[in-house]
Chains A and B, each alone.
Chain A
Amino acid sequence: MTITTSNLAVEATGVWKVFNEGQANEVTALQDVNLSVDTGEFISLIGPSGCGKSTLLRVIADLTEATRGEMKVAGHTPHEAREQQLYGMAFQQAALFEWRTVRRNVELPLELQGWDKDKRKDRAMELLDMVQLADFAEHRPWELSGGMQQRVAIARSLAVDPTILLMDEPFGALDEMTRERMQNELLRIRKETGKSIIFVTHSIPEAVYLSDRVVVMSPRPGRITDIVPVPLGDARDEDTREADEFFDAVTAVREALRGHVGGAGARAKVGEV
């Protein structure tokens, strides 16, 4: 891997994304987005539907291109970053290939990079161990529960040892109990790997529990309205969920969201960041 000069995982400067520009159905999905994510930082993007949080993630991931502005991923353009496989992705749907076993799903990105068979298998087993699914390596995806499938997807996203993880509501389809377990799992994986993570979610407690900073976004036009730091430190566990600092941070994010979601009159303050 190339050594990057910048120690920023993501750096967005004046990024705009406009769909159907100049037409009647023009939509500004992202308006002048500025954001810096440190290496090793965990950032959540939160906001109501249509606030552009997924679009921002997709611009970072080079699944779509910014209309204006500059986006850097570990010092590279998103396109270069994708070609160098600097990031791993996980989606709301596990998107496992049902004709492959669990292990071969994890091997997929390695296969595309031309790893040889034995090394591939070792690496996949190592990752399945990490997500505690080694026993299910030879099962088919449809034999696994939703939470287990999502853990496989996360293992897959880590396979090529990416610099940065991009996660688009990966736990959105899971029940609350599974969801909390998965959050703990993700924190543990983060601690073990030290990855930079950008995490899109609808859930305020989830964003707070996981992140170093929560990026609050607002729709029409999609933009960043607030960035709420979460002073919970690195040692987070089930007790953290009941700590006062946790509730304070949840309240802070909720108020940041409400300030803009509630519409005109609710609050005068619109703190551009």
Chain B
Amino acid sequence: MSSQTADRLKFVWPPVLIALLFLGAWQLLVVVREIEPFLLPAPSLIAENFFGDLALMWETAYYTGTTAFLGLLFGTIAGLVMALLAQRFVVVNNLITPLAAGLAAVPIIALTPILNNMFSITSRTPRVLVTAIIVFFPMLVNVTRGLIQVQPVQLELMRSMNAQPRTVLRVLRIPNAIPFFFTGMKVAAPLAVIAALVAEYFGGPQQGLGSRIASSAANTAYGRAWAYVVAAIITGLVFYLIVLAVERWTTPWTGRTRSA
């Protein structure tokens, strides 16, 4: 037991040490060189702003987090449905695959102004939609891959058992796709937070993290702006960690060596 703890510690202390050194150096640099907060506020100033109004931080992160969550939810559902269709119908797969590959480098966030016009800019809807579209593609690509990339020998086994396509989907393809689903989620969840935040830069309601980072910076409240950045980082991390926890809980077999 104790050796196991020591083992874990071996992985814990280097990052902690580096983080402390980094923050210490940052603080020292700011204090000694008397760097102005607009250049780089000291960690102490950021902490002061962050903990000084925790309620506001929470409220702001909650707004953007909700947008991100809704977008993630709808985008994931759409991605799953489309992946099932792509697995079932070759035409859909042929249409979707090159499109998804081509769109990988496209800044989909650019659709925000259009959505802002089509839907009411004063609502959350356009932001949720653009987040959903951004989430849709990694989910689609990963889940489709999981549904299609089944070991050929397992397919032959199913055939030898006289299994119908629908049974193969239920018994083999869907369970096989679950680890791929989580790979997609681990990409999509942080993306959702980023999308929700950046969508706020196109105007609309002002109570989110993106809006407030921009407005604090414009009002030269740099300590506060950085505090919102910290809140954004925590939000992203929380999304990621939740996905990670659900993955560990539901698919304990991933990360193991595959059966030969």
Which A residues are within 8 Å of any B CB, using their own CB?
A: 61-63, 82-83, 85, 87-89, 91-100, 108-109, 111-112, 140-142, 144, 146, 149, 160, 166, 173
Q: Flag whether B248 is at the interface (Cβ < 8 A).
A: no
6 contacts between A and B (CB under 8 A): A63-B159, A82-B160, A89-B157, A97-B154, A98-B259, A144-B259
> Once the chains bind, are B257 and A142 in contact (CB under 8 Å)?
yes
Query: Which chain A residues border B257 with CB–CB below 8 Å?
Result: 142
Interface residue from A85, A92, A166 paired with B161 (Cβ < 8 Å): A85
Instruction: Give min CB distance, B154 to chain A, whole Å.
Output: 5
Q: Which residues of A contact B258 (CB under 8 A)?
A: 98, 142
**Number of residues on chain B facing chain A (CB within 8 A):** 24
A-facing residues in B240-254 (Cβ within 8 Å): 251-253
Instruction: Please tell me if the beta carbons of A140 and B157 are within 8 angstroms of each other in the complex.
Output: no
Given contacts A99-B175, A142-B258, A149-B259, contact A93 B153 (CB under 8 A): yes
0/1 interface trace, chain B 178-203, chain A, CB 8 Å (1 if under): 10000000000000000000000000
Residues in A whose Cβ lies below 8 Å from that of B178: 99
- CB-based nearest B residue for A87: B160
- 4 interchain residue pairs of minimum CB distance: A89-B160, A141-B259, A142-B256, A95-B153
B window 134-187: CB within 8 A of A: 151, 153-154, 156-157, 159-163, 167, 171-172, 175-176, 178
Q: Is B1 an interface residue (CB 8 A)?
A: no
Q: Which residue of A lies closest to B178 (CB)?
A: A99
Q: Flag if B171 contacts A112 (CB, 8 Å).
A: yes
Residues of B close to A173: CB separation below 8 A: 260
- On whether A96 and B259 interact (CB within 8 A), knowing A63-B156, A89-B156, the answer reads yes
CA distance A128 to B157 in the complex (A): 19
User: In the bound complex, do residue A97 and residue B167 qualify as a contact, i.e. CB atoms below 8 Å apart?
Assistant: no
Q: Mark B211-246, 1 if CB is under 8 A from A, else 0.
A: 000000000000000000000000000000000000
Complex CA distance for A20 and B258, rounded to whole angstroms = 34
Say yes or no: A95 contacts B161, CB within 8 Å: no
On whether the beta carbons of B162 and A85 are closer than 8 Å, the reply is yes
Q: Given A61-B160, A85-B162, check contact A93 B253 (CB 8 Å).
A: no
Find chain B residues with CB under 8 A from A142 CB.
253, 256-259
Of B157, B251, B258, most A-chain CB atoms within 10 Å: B157
Q: Are B151 and A95 in contact (CB under 8 A)?
A: yes
Are A146 and B260 interface neighbours, CB within 8 A? Answer: yes
What are the residues of chain B within 8 A of A146 when measuring CB–CB? 260
Name A108's contact: one of B156, B161, B260 (CB within 8 Å).
B161
A70 vs B226: C-alpha distance in the bound complex, in angstroms? 78
Determine the residue in chain B with the shortest Cβ distance to A142: B256
Across the interface, name the chain A residue whose C-beta is closest to B158: A112
Inter-chain contacts of B160 with A (CB < 8 A): 61-63, 82, 87-89, 166
- How far is A160 from B163 in the complex, measured between Cα atoms in Å? 14
Q: Give the residue name and chain of the B residue nearest to A63 (CB).
A: B156
**B259 surroundings in chain A (CB, below 8 A):** 93-96, 98, 141-142, 144, 149
The reply to whether A109 and B154 form a contact with Cβ atoms under 8 Å apart is no
Q: Say yes or no: A108 contacts B253, CB within 8 Å.
A: no
Are B156 and A93 in contact, with the CB atoms below 8 A? Answer: no
| A97 pairs with B175, CB closer than 8 A | yes
Alpha-carbon gap, A166 to B151, bound state (A)? 19
Shortest beta-carbon distance from B37 to chain A in Å: 53
Bound together, the chains give a CA A24 to CA B180 distance in angstroms of 40
Least distance between B156 CB and chain A CB atoms (Å): 6
Question: Given contacts A63-B160, A93-B151, A109-B161, are A99 and B171 in contact (CB under 8 A)?
Answer: no
CB B248 to nearest CB in A, in angstroms, measures 14
Q: Given contacts A99-B178, A108-B171, A140-B253, are A93 and B162 in contact (CB under 8 A)?
A: no
